[in-house]
Amino acid sequence: MNRSEKILTCCVVLFDTDIMTLSKKDDSEIKLKNRAVDKRNLAVLEKIVHENSETIRMTEGAQWQITAVLPAYNEADTIGRIIGQVKPFVNEIVVVDDGSTDGTAGIATESGAMVIKHPKNVGYGSALASGFKYVKGNGTSIMVVLDADGQHDPAEIPRLTEPIIAGEADIVIGSRFIDADQTAIPKYRRFGIGVVNKAWKIAGGEPVTDTQCGFRAYSRAAIDTIDIRESNMSASLEILDEAEKHKLRLVEVPVSVKYGGYSSTMTPGKHGMELVNYVLRKLKDEHPLLIFGVGSLIFISAGLAFGVYSINSYFDSRYLPFGPTIIAAILVYVGTLMMFGGLILNSIQSLAARLEQKGL
């Protein structure tokens, strides 16, 4: 679409005019509501569009069915307020109550949200999966996911939906590290997220500045193709895997976050271990030669060290120490098995990749 078409398309949205007709041979003249608009007048129209850009964005957004999904676990203190703040920006609000015991579901229902209730707490990933399952069948154009504890600002929802509406992205991730005051983020969180980001990049994942932000938006294409199997917080990484697998376009936008007075129901240690476990599994599945090769090198090196000690002891005293010798043999044996296991798994992984490329 050229500049003329873009400007007048905005005017169509802004002024609710008839569909414009474009000359296929020469775009110097564009007919809008049976009036010819010369290129000389485009500057004037461009100024009008610029001055009314917010109206245009709101009008464009109104043409899309936007559903907000809020995973929630014991968020009775905040859920009603958050639903009220989200309402102006979406068509429907879905609260996935993950086994709350404090009346979260009742407050959400009274506040006008549709509630999906889990009989017990099964994890953030399972709550996300329930949200995806619901919107797959209700005609949603864009699904926005945000926390129910007040950390995310609902007023920033249009910032996440705009790249999808503009046709520039399938997944939009809110980032706490783009054009943001990082001092507002606790140091332990900055450190933990930084470690996960680097580990994710080493594992071959698509590099992003914030792998863990739960404030995200998904296009219809993403909704239809993403399949969440992880039940815990590692679902955030699994979604990035799904995006790469299905070649979904991913964009990051800056978002703000509030930590004062809000606390996670999961300890940082447990959260971190879930993420590390997923990264290690990704390495094992996609780069078996690397992870098994490193393990093999460590075991064989340790075995050789014990072996050298045993041999030196033998030459010094004509006595072969039983314990170190057995340990050396076991370590070298295990290391050798790991090496061959890595080679076999790498061959299987390469074969599977070739079959997938051929559509088999």
In contact, 49 and 17? CB cutoff 8 Å? no
DSSP 20: P
Mean pLDDT of 74-90: 95
Enumerate the β-bridge partners of residue 72: 97
In this predicted structure, the answer to whether residue 2 has a pLDDT above a threshold of 70 is no
Q: Comparing C-alpha atoms, which of 44, 36, 97 is closest to residue 69?
A: 97
Identify the residue with better confidence: 263 or 317. Answer: 317
- pLDDT over 70, % of the chain: 71
What does the pLDDT read at residue 73? 94
Q: CA 237 to CA 213: how far, in whole Å? A: 10
Identify the residue with better confidence: 213 or 259. Answer: 213
- Structure-token pair, residue 242: 């799904």
Weakest mean pLDDT among 9-13, 88-92, 230-234, 278-282: 9-13
Q: Which residues lie closer than 8 Å to 340 by C-beta, 6 or more apart?
A: none
Q: Which residues lie closer than 8 Å to 223 by C-beta, 6 or more apart?
A: 132, 135, 136, 140, 143
In this predicted structure, the answer to whether residue 252 has a pLDDT above a threshold of 60 is yes
Weakest mean pLDDT among 130-144, 169-183, 227-241: 169-183
What does the pLDDT read at residue 180? 58
One of 3.90.550.10, 3.40.50.410, 3.40.50.1820, 1.10.8.60 is the CATH number of 64-281, namely: 3.90.550.10
- pLDDT over 90, % of the chain: 45
In contact, 331 and 303? CB cutoff 8 Å? yes
- Structure-token pair, residue 253: 């936008």
What does the pLDDT read at residue 144? 97
